[in-house]
Structure 1
Amino acid sequence: MTADSPRRIDVHHHLIPPFYRDLLTKAGIAEAGGRALPDWSAEAALEQLDLLGTDTAVVSVSTPGAGFLTDPAEAADLARRLNEYAAGLPERFGWFATVPMPDAAASAAEAVRALDELGADGVTLLANNRGTYLGAPGQDALWRALNDRGAVVFVHPADLPAPAVEGIPPFAADFLLDTTRAAFLLVRNGVVRTYPDIRFILSHAGGFVPYASHRMAVTIAGETGRSPLDVLDDFRSFYFDTALSSSPAALPTLLAFARPGHVLFGSDWPFAPSIAGQYFATALDTELAPTTLAAINRTNALPLFPRLGGTPAPAPSRNLRRSAQRAGARFFFRLVNPGTK
């Protein structure tokens, strides 16, 4: 391990087991969030970790999770299979359990099994499941089970429960709104206050939460009679990952809003291609003060995932990291100069 290796803990990193891809294909689901399902293997994932100087990735199943199966027993069985697969990954991977939402009772049961018996590091919850958002009534069995265990909950967006707008891929804008809707309801309906031992991580810098937090706080205060400052405090209780969000415009807003220690590194691989991960990681590496960078890359995650702070992975060579940084810079140049090859 070289002295300048980031030793990142990536909290937003996906897996696509072969049997899961087959089930999605059989169900006619060829893409997630408007993007074709990418290729995935544990070996390719480890290569990506090495490229970005990442020690550990906490993997999760992305949308549509298990909820595309409308039969509750089939969805519960798929969640069990996905969790058993994740539990068998190499030791450089942590994992978030999949649960069969929107069935809150079945999800509570599978969360307990995954956390207590399989050693999951937390639970993935999609912002909405077939139109039912996190924070809606009827989910207390799940919240109680997670709160009793001080669980980490990774909130990941799904397709909005409405037709996509032609020309706007869901991952480009709708995902950010989906996460924001869930965060709003989790605060509006008192989930984060009633169950304070759950640690919620919001994907992609929380969608629009940091930017719109005061607007939403005033709205909730007007509806509930609560103090806007108390509502803002609830929004600031969330953790936020940097996946696709460490741009010069988004990152200052996130850092200005989030509590100290509440910003975590995320890559969104493989749905975000390697070149995108290199660009956003390079933005962190080059724009942040060393202490802030070290906190986001690693130390902020350790209180949430203490077992992942063990033996570091072999570091990539300095030449490999410099190559990744140059690739990230070229990617950004093409973004702002679309006619350039």
Structure 2
Amino acid sequence: MHAETMRSANAMDTGLIDVHAHLLPGFYVQEATAAGHAHPDGVGDWPAWSVQTHLDLMDRNGIRTAMLSMSSPGVHFGDDAAARTLARSVNDYTAQLVHDHPGRFGSFASLPLPDVDGSLAEIDHAFDELRADGVALLTNARGVYLGDPRLEPVFAELDRRRAVVFLHPTSPPGWEQTTLGRPRPMIEYLFDTTRTVTDMLMAGVLARHPNLKVIVPHCGGALPVLADRIEEFRHLFLPEGTGSAPGALEQLRALYYDLAGTAFPRQAPALLQLADPGRVLFGSDYCWTPPALADAHIAAVDAAEPPAPGTTWRTLTTANAQRLLANAAQ
């Protein structure tokens, strides 16, 4: 561990690995605002973020490593060329942070989806040049959901690389009607997460690409309570010739899930009715979750009933992340 980021005396012994952590460099905020995102996803102003304030939050909460990714609205604001340039700038910037703070940060690279050719080029750059730990994909890319056949070349390449794929929600098409004037992250994020994972499952993306290591955020959204319904409808409307694919419950159980947000007292116990405990990960959702609220969420994780005898949520999620992110979790 780097000396400048030594954990504070009151930090827990088990250093968490935060798979759901966001950076927000000034050049990105400036470009996103110029593109019309002055109030991203209807939440008000952009949150404040700096490397030091992020490290401060990590130190006081015993977070060893934060896997940095861009949140919604992503890097594509309508122009493919501009999206390619912004994705490259964000990924290069993040890689420099990882280099400058060894062991404290990892990187999930941004892709300029729905631009497939640009995304394939950025996958090569991110993995081969920057040594990224995975990629971050929004639940829809300008209305294109992740089961869309146009994205098949991207998933084929990520599968070939056995990549970690971190999903992050964004506003759905038609949010103007569905949100009823309320902030989109409140429930639309959870529904869009559920929608895109269901789309990947029904379209056969998960079955065709079993080497993908997909992280689903926010305790899986509504998936834990809808999984049986999805399984039933999958049997009713199963496309001819796909009967050999694993069942929906089996495919969902093979995914990873993070605890970002209000995991306790209700969401995490519901998640364990669906998810393999060996695939549950910690997430803070900082900096989009304000510092005081992030502190409270982490305290709730530490106070929650242990997931199994002889473990804590810290030890469980840290061991799981170490297996998933061996290079970043050293």
CA 1:118–1:172 in 2, change beyond 3 Å: closer, same or farther? Answer: same
Matched letter for residue 231 of structure 2: A
Alignment partner of 2:185 out of 171, 175, 179: 171
Residue 103 (structure 1) aligns with:
115
Moved over 3 A (4+): 1-4, 225-229, 294-297
The yes-or-no answer on 1:268 pairing with 2:288 is no
Separation in 2, partners of 1:228, 1:217: 12
| Displacement after TM superposition at 1:168 (Å) | 2.0
Residue 30 (structure 1) aligns with:
38
TM-score by length of 2: 0.89
CA 1:228–1:120 in 2, change beyond 3 Å: closer, same or farther? Answer: closer
Alignment partner of 1:282 out of 277, 294, 299: 299
- Asked if the contact 2:19–2:68 (Cα under 8 Å) also holds between the matched residues in 1, the reply is yes
- Asked if the contact 2:219–2:271 (Cα under 8 Å) also holds between the matched residues in 1, the reply is yes
Separation in 1, partners of 2:73, 2:236: 34
Matched letter for residue 52 of structure 1: N
Matched letter for residue 106 of structure 1: G
The yes-or-no answer on 1:59 pairing with 2:71 is no
| Displacement after TM superposition at 1:105 (Å) | 2.5
Residue 3 (structure 2) aligns with:
none
Residue 305 (structure 1) aligns with:
325
Matched letter for residue 247 of structure 1: F
Matched letter for residue 142 of structure 1: V
Instruction: Report Cα offsets for 1:55-83 as digits up to 9, x if no partner.
Output: 00001001111111x22111111111110
Residue 48 (structure 1) aligns with:
57
Matched letter for residue 187 of structure 1: L
Separation in 2, partners of 1:235, 1:229: 10
Q: How many residues of Structure 1 are paired with residues of Structure 2 in the alignment?
A: 309
Alignment partner of 2:13 out of 5, 12, 18: 5
- Asked if the contact 1:64–1:158 (Cα under 8 Å) also holds between the matched residues in 2, the reply is yes
Instruction: Report Cα offsets for 1:156-196 as digits up to 9, x if no partner.
Output: 00111113333421000000011111100111011111111
Question: In terms of mean alpha carbon deviation, does 59-68 or 290-299 score higher?
Answer: 290-299
TM-score by length of 1: 0.86
CA 1:23–1:236 in 2, change beyond 3 Å: closer, same or farther? Answer: same
| Displacement after TM superposition at 1:26 (Å) | 1.6
Structure 1: which 5+ runs fail to align?
Answer: 311-341
Matched letter for residue 208 of structure 1: A
| Displacement after TM superposition at 1:138 (Å) | 1.4
Instruction: Report Cα offsets for 1:76-125 as digits up to 9, x if no partner.
Output: 11111110000000221101000000112221221121011101010000
Separation in 2, partners of 1:279, 1:180: 26
The yes-or-no answer on 1:19 pairing with 2:39 is no
The yes-or-no answer on 1:117 pairing with 2:129 is yes
Separation in 1, partners of 2:159, 2:54: 31
Separation in 2, partners of 1:45, 1:239: 24
| Displacement after TM superposition at 1:228 (Å) | 10
Instruction: Report Cα offsets for 1:241-298 as digits up to 9, x if no partner.
Output: 0000321111111122101311100010011111221222112111132514234441
- Asked if the contact 1:261–1:295 (Cα under 8 Å) also holds between the matched residues in 2, the reply is no
| Displacement after TM superposition at 1:227 (Å) | 8.2
| Displacement after TM superposition at 1:34 (Å) | 2.2
Structure 2: which 5+ runs fail to align?
Answer: 1-6
Matched letter for residue 68 of structure 2: V
| Amino-acid identity (%) | 38
Matched letter for residue 265 of structure 2: P
Separation in 1, partners of 2:198, 2:316: 24
| Mapping for residues 186-265 of structure 1, pairs under 5 Å | 186-224=200-238, 226=243, 230-265=247-282
Residue 294 (structure 1) aligns with:
314
